[in-house]
Amino acid sequence: MKKNILPRNAIMNALLAAAVMSAPATYGQRAYNLIYSQNLKGGHTMFGNTSMAIYNTTSGNLASGATVNTTAMNDFGSYGNGETSQYGNDNSNMQFVNVDWVAAYTDTLIDLGSTWKETLPTSEPSGWEALSFNDASWSNYTGATPLTGSSTRNTAYFRIKFNVTNPSAYTNFTLNLKDRQGAVVYLNGSELNGSGNGRDNITSGNVTFSTGATLGRGTTSGNVNFTIPSSSLVAGQNIITVEVHRRNQGSNDQLALDARLTGAVPAGSSVNNASSADLVLPSTGTNTVKFARLYWGGRVARTAITANAANLKTVKLRKGSSGSYANVTALGVDTIALNEAAGVGYQSYADVTSFINSNGAGTYTVADIVAATGGVTGGNFAGWSIVVVYENSAQTDYYSTRIYDGYMKIYSGGSSTTVPVTLNGFDAPSGTLAASDAYLTAFAWEGDANLAASSSNPAGDFLQINGNAFTDANNPASNIWNGTISTNGTMVTTKNPNYKNQFGIDIDQLQVGTGYGIQPNASQVAITFGTEADQYFPSGFAFSLRMKPPVVSIAKTATGNKQTPPNSLAKNIDTSEIFTYTISGTNSGQGVALGTMVIDSIPANSTYVPGSLNIVTSGATGVTGTMSDASGDDYAFLGTAANGRKYVMFYIGSSASATAGGILESGGSYSVQFKVQAPATYPALGTIANIAYVSATAQSGEVITNQASFVINQLISVPLAVNLTNFGATKSGTTAIVNWTTVNEKDNDYFELQRSTDGAHFSTVATVKGNGTTTVQHSYEYRDALNEVKSNTVYYRLYSVAFDGSKTTSKVIAVNNQSKISDINIYPNPFAGSFKVDVYASEVENVAVRIKNMVGQILAEKNITVQSGLNTLGIEELNGVPQGMYIVEVAAGGDVVAKKMIKQ
C-alpha cells in the first residue's frame, strides 16, 4: 500500500496503541502473545490463500463476465531494490476469487430415449397423473417407440419420475415434447403451466379418453417446447405424466412419445468468494492435531462494519473442494484504521482444532470473507490462513513449538519506520542448532511486491530476527512482505487459485536454525519490523525447534579392600570385606539432562557402611564431596523403600538441591561412590549384585533412564574352555533373553545355563548344544520364562561342558525382574461417569491404559508416562457408554494388570 503523509505524532500513537476491537468505533493494534506452547513429537505448519485478485477491467467482477489478470497475478521477478513485481493492488480493480463459481450451463434431467412407464388401456386409469399412483403393473417404454393397438384403445398413458435437489438454482426448465398424434402434459398431477397450456395437437376444453388429436400425423411426431418456471417444481421427486391420443377413435394411427427435460443453470455460486489450500502433514504414522486457529481478514469500508463487528465475525470453512460448509464464528476481531480515512483493516480468528483434527490432511476451502472490492487508493485485499500444530506417532524427535499472534500496523508515514517486538516464552534447546533444526512461519497482511527499498533506505520492508534479516530465494531481505506463500524458498502450489502474487497476504516458512542468532536455552526472541514506503499488518509467528536429547551413560564398578592387590577390582568375596562402588557416566548427547539423579539399592548379602556417600564429580559446577546419610540436608541420602530394602540416592549436576537433581550439561560427567560390607561368616557369603540407575529429564519433558550392574562372586570362577566374547541378559515382558557369543570352542559338547534368585544357589534351566571344536564365531540365545519367579533380581551363569564331562564356568550376570506395574486400584467402583486409576510402577515407564468391554473390544486407549511409585490417572472416556461391566487394563512392556469395574 502506498504511503500517505500523516503527522508524526499520529503515526506514533497508532503504533503504540494496543487494543482488541469490541465495537466498530474502536481501532487499534493487539500486542503479540504466546497462544500455544508445547514440546511434542511433531511440529507446526501454516497454509492459506488470497481471496482476491486483480481483474483485467477497471470495473466488473465474475458475475459481469470480467476475468482475472493472470499476468499481474503471476508476475514475479527481480525489478531492483527488492521489488519482485511491477504490479500492485493500489487503485487496481481488486475483486473476489471464487473456486465455487459455476459458469452457466444446461442440466439434462430427462433425456430422449429414456425409460417411461406406459399403458394402453380401454379406459382412462383413475388418478394416474398423481406422483403416488402405483404404476408397477405398467409396461416399461423406451422413448419414441411406436405403439399400435386395437381400435378400442384410443389413448396411451405415460409416466416418468425425476429428482431436482434445488429448483430455485435454475432459471427455468424446458420440456421438448415429441408426440404422435396429440398429447396433454401434466406436472406433479396438474396440467403443465395451467389448464389448456400443456397441450400439443389437442383441442382446448375438456379432454377424455375418447378425445382425438386435432390433426393426423401418420408416422411423424410433433416437436413442441414448453417453458416451465422453476417455481413449478418441488425439491426432491417430481413426475411428468403424458396422455397421447390418436386422431380419432377406431383409427389405426401409431402412438409414440419422447421427451427431453432440461434446466437452465445460471452462472454463479452460493458464496460470495472462496479459495482453497492444502494442509500437508507427514505421510507416515498417525497425525493428531493439537491446535489449529483460522485467521481471515481484509480491508473494509468503515461504514460497512455492522454493530459489534458482527459481519466480520463469521466465515465458512469446508474440507474438500466441493460440498457443504461449516459456519465458523470468531473468538475475536482485530481492527486498525488505515491511512485512508474511509478504510479499516481487520483480522478475525477462531479455534478450529476439532474440525481440522477430525478431517486431517487435504484441501480446505474458506468462503464468504467480508471485504471491500474495486479500486481504491491503498488497494483492497482479503485472504485467510490456518496455523496447525500436530503430533506424529512415527516421529522420534521432540520439537519445541511456540505460536504467537497479534495485529500491528507498520506504516512509514513518509519516512522509514522500525518497530521492535519481543516474543517471550521461547524455549530454545540447549545444544547447537543446524539450519534445519528450527523453522519459522511468518504471516502478515497487505504487503506489496512492487514496494520495497529505495536509495535513501536500502533496508526496505524487512523482518529481522535477533537483528538478522529474514530472507530466502523468494523473499528479498528488503521486501519480505511481497505477497508470497512459500516454504524454504519454494513457492507453495497446493492452493486454488494458485497465483505467485497474493496481493495482500504473505505466508512464508524459513529455516532459522543458523544465521538468526537463536542462542542455546534462549527464552525470548527479538523481532523487528521495518518499512520504507509500505503499510502492512504482521499477524502470526510460529516457531518449531528440534530439541536435542541428552544421552546419559552409566557404568558401575566395585573395588574390595581384601582383593589381590588390595582395593583392586572386586572379583570374589572375603569375610567382612568392604567394597567401594563407583557409579559414573557422561552426557554424550547435545541436550542438557535436567533433574539428574543416580539411585542404587544396597545389595543383598551386604550392609551399607555409614557415612560412605561421596560425590566425586557432578557436572561442571555441581557440589562434590562427602555427603551425610540423612535426607534433605545435602545432595545424597540413604533411604528405605516400601519393601524394606535400603537404597542410596544422589542428586547430580548444576543447580541440584537437597530434594531434586540438577543439570548435567552436554559433555558433562558424574561419578558417585558408596560402600558396603560383606557378612562376617562364610556360610552367609554369596554373590553380591545389584543394579544402579541414572534418571534425568530432557528439555522436551521426556524421561531418560539407564542402568548398569556389577556382580561379585563368592569364589573365583574357572575360565571357560571357550572364548566367550559376550554374555548378557535382558528382560522382555516376563521373559529373560540370555545371549552369548563365542569365537573359539574346544571339545565343547554343550552349554548349561543356570539361574539363581539369590546369587548363591543356582539350578540348571536349559542345556544348549555346543559346536565341538571350532574357530568360527557362534551366537546362542535362550529365552527363560520368569512368570513364576518372584525375586526382584535374577542371576545367570553359564557352564561349558566338554565331551569328557569336565566343566568350566562363566561370570555371574544379573537381570532386574521387578514388574513394571505391580498393581492398580480403581475408584469409585461402581462408577457413574469418570473414575480414577491408581497405578503402582517400579520405575519411570510408558504405559498403555485400555478400557475393554466383556468380549474384549477396546473402547478407549491412552498412553501415559508414569513415574516410580503411585500414579493417579483420571479416566473420562466412558461417559457415553451404557451401564454394565468393563475391564481396565494397564500394560507396560510385557506386564499387564487388569481389573473389572461396573458402570451404574
What distance in Å separates the CA atoms of residue 20 and residue 36, rounded to the nearest whole number?
A: 19
Average pLDDT over residues 520-532: 91
- Find the range with the poorest average confidence among 384-388, 637-641, 854-858: 854-858
Q: How far is CA 680 from CA 606, 607, 648, 757, in A?
A: 10, 11, 23, 22
How far is residue 479 CA from its own chain's centroid? 32
What distance in Å separates the CA atoms of residue 664 and residue 671, rounded to the nearest whole number?
A: 12
Query: Are 810 and 717 spatial neighbours (Cβ–Cβ below 8 Å)?
Result: yes
pLDDT at 683 over 90: no
Q: Is 192 helix (H, G, I), strand (E, B) or coil?
A: coil
Give the residue, 253 or 397, on which the prediction is more confident. Answer: 397
Average pLDDT over residues 458-479: 92
- Give the model's confidence band at 23: pLDDT under 50 very low, under 70 low, under 90 confident, else very high: very low
Phi, psi of 701 (to 5 degrees): 100, -10
Please state whether beta strands 495-496 and 274-279 pair in parallel, antiparallel, or not at all (unpaired). antiparallel
Query: Are 641 and 599 spatial neighbours (Cβ–Cβ below 8 Å)?
Result: no
Instruction: Return the percentage of the chain with pLDDT > 90, whole number.
Output: 60
Euclidean distance between the first and the last CA atom of the chain, given in angstroms as a whole number: 65
pLDDT at 621 over 90: yes
Exposed/middle/buried for residue 751 (C-beta within 10 Å: 0-12, 13-18, 19+):
buried
What distance in Å separates the CA atoms of residue 290 and residue 662, rounded to the nearest whole number?
A: 31
pLDDT at 414: 56
* Model pLDDT for residues 382-405, shown as the tens digit of each residue: 999 999 999 999 998 889 999 999
pLDDT at 332 over 50: yes
pLDDT at 416: 66
What distance in Å separates the CA atoms of residue 756 and residue 762, rounded to the nearest whole number?
A: 4
CA angle 640, 645, 646 (to 5 degrees): 55
Exposed/middle/buried for residue 172 (C-beta within 10 Å: 0-12, 13-18, 19+):
middle
38 contacts: CB under 8 Å, gap ≥ 6: 290, 291, 389, 401
* Model pLDDT for residues 456-466, shown as the tens digit of each residue: 778 888 999 99
pLDDT at 815: 82
pLDDT at 663 over 80: yes
497 contacts: CB under 8 Å, gap ≥ 6: 49, 50, 53, 68, 73, 97, 99, 275
Domain ranges in the chain are: 8-98+271-546, 106-265, 555-712, 722-816, 821-903
Query: Are 29 and 336 spatial neighbours (Cβ–Cβ below 8 Å)?
Result: yes
- What count of Cα atoms within 13 Å lies in the side-chain half-sphere of residue 39? 19
Q: How far is CA 67 from CA 58, 273, 376, 400, 601, in A?
A: 11, 14, 19, 45, 79
What distance in Å separates the CA atoms of residue 53 and residue 716, rounded to the nearest whole number?
A: 87
Specify which residues 869 forms β-bridges with.
841
Phi, psi of 288 (to 5 degrees): -120, 120
Calculate Rg over the CA atoms of the chain.
41
Q: Is 630 helix (H, G, I), strand (E, B) or coil?
A: coil
pLDDT at 17: 29
Average pLDDT over residues 783-804: 88
Average pLDDT over residues 213-234: 91
Average pLDDT over residues 317-323: 96
Please state whether beta strands 485-487 and 505-511 pair in parallel, antiparallel, or not at all (unpaired). parallel
Q: Which of 753, 721, 706, 353 is nearest to 554 (CA)?
A: 706
pLDDT at 61 over 80: yes
Q: What is the CATH number of domain 106-265?
A: 2.60.120.260
CATH architecture of 821-903: Sandwich (2.60)
Query: Are 470 and 441 spatial neighbours (Cβ–Cβ below 8 Å)?
Result: no
* Model pLDDT for residues 505-521, shown as the tens digit of each residue: 999 999 999 999 999 98
- Which DSSP helix (H) or strand (E) runs through 14? helix 8-16
Whether the bond into 828 is cis, omega within 30 of 0: yes
What distance in Å separates the CA atoms of residue 404 and residue 426, rounded to the nearest whole number?
A: 10
pLDDT at 3: 34
Query: Are 488 and 509 spatial neighbours (Cβ–Cβ below 8 Å)?
Result: yes
Give 831-842 as a DSSP string.
BSS-EEEEEEES
Question: Hey, do 555-712 and 722-816 end up sharing a CATH topology, with the first three levels equal?
Answer: yes
What distance in Å separates the CA atoms of residue 88 and residue 451, rounded to the nearest whole number?
A: 8
Q: What share of the chain is helix, strand, coil (3-state, %, to 5)?
A: 5, 50, 45
Phi, psi of 437 (to 5 degrees): -80, -10
pLDDT at 224 over 90: yes
Q: Is 436 helix (H, G, I), strand (E, B) or coil?
A: helix
Query: Are 277 and 361 spatial neighbours (Cβ–Cβ below 8 Å)?
Result: no
Which of 424-438, 611-625, 859-873 is the most confident on average?
611-625
Query: Are 444 and 472 spatial neighbours (Cβ–Cβ below 8 Å)?
Result: no
Give 330-396 as a DSSP string.
-SEEEEEE-SSTTEEEEEEEEE-HHHHHHH-SEEEEEE------B--TT---EEEEEEEEEEETT--
pLDDT at 145: 92
Q: What would the grid cell of residue 864 be?
A: 501415559
Q: What is the CATH number of domain 722-816?
A: 2.60.40.10
Instruction: Return the percentage of the chain with pLDDT > 70, whole number.
Output: 90
- Give the model's confidence band at 894: pLDDT under 50 very low, under 70 low, under 90 confident, else very high: low
Look over the chain and give the mean of its residue pLDDT values, rounded to a whole number: 88
Handedness of CA 830, 836, 841, 847 (dihedral sign): positive
Exposed/middle/buried for residue 105 (C-beta within 10 Å: 0-12, 13-18, 19+):
exposed
pLDDT at 152: 63
Whether the bond into 229 is cis, omega within 30 of 0: no
pLDDT at 822 over 50: yes
pLDDT at 583 over 70: yes
pLDDT at 633 over 90: yes
Specify which residues 866 forms β-bridges with.
845
Q: Does domain 555-712 have CATH number 3.40.50.720?
A: no
Give 799-851 as a DSSP string.
EEEETTS-EEE---EEEE---SEEEEEEESSSBSS-EEEEEEESSSEEEEEEE
pLDDT at 876: 65
pLDDT at 317: 98
Average pLDDT over residues 168-177: 96
pLDDT at 654: 95
pLDDT at 9: 30
pLDDT at 533 over 70: no
Q: Is 303 helix (H, G, I), strand (E, B) or coil?
A: helix
What distance in Å separates the CA atoms of residue 107 and residue 163, rounded to the nearest whole number?
A: 12
Q: What would the grid cell of residue 568 be?
A: 583392586
Q: Is 263 helix (H, G, I), strand (E, B) or coil?
A: strand
What distance in Å separates the CA atoms of residue 422 and residue 425, rounded to the nearest whole number?
A: 10
Give the residue, 148 or 398, on which the prediction is more confident. Answer: 398
pLDDT at 219: 77
225 contacts: CB under 8 Å, gap ≥ 6: 174, 175, 176, 177
Handedness of CA 497, 501, 506, 508 (dihedral sign): positive
